[in-house]
Amino acid sequence: MRSLFFAGLLSCGSLVAATAISGGTHRRADHVSPRPHIVYSPKSPSTAPADPKPRCKTCFVETHGDGVTDDSEYILKAFNECNNGGHVVFREGETYIVGTAMDWTFLKSIDIDIQGEILFSNDTAYWQANSFPFVFQNVTSFFKLGGDDVFIYGGGTLNGNGQVWYDAYAADIYTLRPVLIGIDGLKNSIISDLVLRYSPQYYHFIANSSNVVFNNIDIAGGSTNPKVTAKNTDGWDTYRSDGITIQNSVINNGDDCVSFKPNSTNVLVQSLFCNGSHGVSVGSLGQYVGHYDIVENVYVANISMHNATDGARIKIWPNTPSALSGDLQGGGGDGRVNNITYTDWIIDNVDYAIEVDQCYGQKNLTLCLEYPSPLKITNVLFNNFKGTASNKYQPQVANFACSSETACSNILSTNFDVVSPNNTNEAYCLNFEQSALDGVTCTTVFKGFN
């Protein structure tokens, strides 16, 4: 068996000869990746991004190398050895098997350099019993990432082994599918230059975190079974978090490209290529009775949206019990959506370029209007949208639906130039003023449930 890991001292800048821990042979071919240089454009985060401290020690994570045996013990020991000032390396060309739920919320002042592949086991029974639960929409995770001054990069891959989960969910919608990267209490950190594949559910769930940057993330993965869909594979979901930046990434998935869940504030999303998604979404909000949901100060710019159900989206549950599906239901919550900007978008084969929906999960429009949402939507700008919608709802290209005349205020579209394939630009408008919506012609005929 190989040694557990190598630990080498650094003069906080240059690697000296490493020393093997617990025996083993030193491998001079081992290398550390340089930290990526991150450029923020077109906008800088409202909070200064983290400036990670130098690291003075290096640990190379070992693996059993047989593609079967759980390497989780090796990973945890390397993290503990190089925490508080070290650099952990997952070697290039190696596959690390993870079959144990791990709590990584203790991390502090550490670089995690993923050059190889981290592959999560397909033991669905184990993960359903042992993955970490969050308190929102049945979310669980393979591991919990948290701490302070954490920098993760390296160009390697995290693989969620998703097909077994897509099949399991198709057979039973109450299957608890882990998210690929579950974050709880991470602050002043950066995650960059990673490849994410085949997540069972969301690719990222970011909870209780602040001042975290995601940069240059490559997301892809769908079902190989033509009878089964990879569902709920959001790129990022933010929850109870502030100061999150998501940028310079490519997302090929089957649900929201990015979704701002309750109590997401001061979020910057920019320079994304999204394909096959459900758009960049505020919400869903107002799902739980007695909860006050806030999404505020969100800026979404320079987005290229392709082959999607929605582009820019706001989805609010009505003030009456509603069921979108057997495992997703709710309504009756309060809150506010305020100061949201969607600007500079390319639309390509998207069903609705813009959708504001205060009747989310409720197909009975009469019932939705009878019980309007108490959650207010204010100060929203949709600016500079260009391109072509799909033909699904043509002649409509957008949907603006408020559940009452007082629930929405100061919601504007400007410089909107999106048409359907037959060159029309109608929008369904409910409790919206035509004068606020540049570039669309309002109609009261709703086509969204077709």
Helix (H) and strand (E) counts for the chain?
A: 4, 29
Specify whether 87 is catalytic.
no
Buried b (16+ CB within 10 A) or exposed e, 49-68: bbebeebbbbbbbbbbeeee
Report the run of H or E that residue 83 belongs to, with start and end. Answer: none
DSSP 34: P
Both tokens assigned to 237? 């979901």
HSE-CB for 442 with a 13 A CA cutoff: 14
Burial of 3 per CB tally in 10 Å (0-12, 13-18, 19+): middle
E-state strands within 29-134: 57-61, 86-90, 95-98, 102-114, 117-120, 132-133
Q: What CA–CA distances, in Å, run from 257 to 4, 253, 282, 304, 313?
A: 38, 7, 11, 11, 11
DSSP-derived 3-state class of residue 168 = helix
Within 10 angstroms of residue 412's Cβ, the number of other Cβ atoms is: 15
Between CA 414 and CA 235 the distance in angstroms is 27
The single residue of 37, 204, 278, 306 carrying the catalytic annotation is 278
Joined together, the tokens standing for residue 249 give 């990434």
Catalytic residues: 278
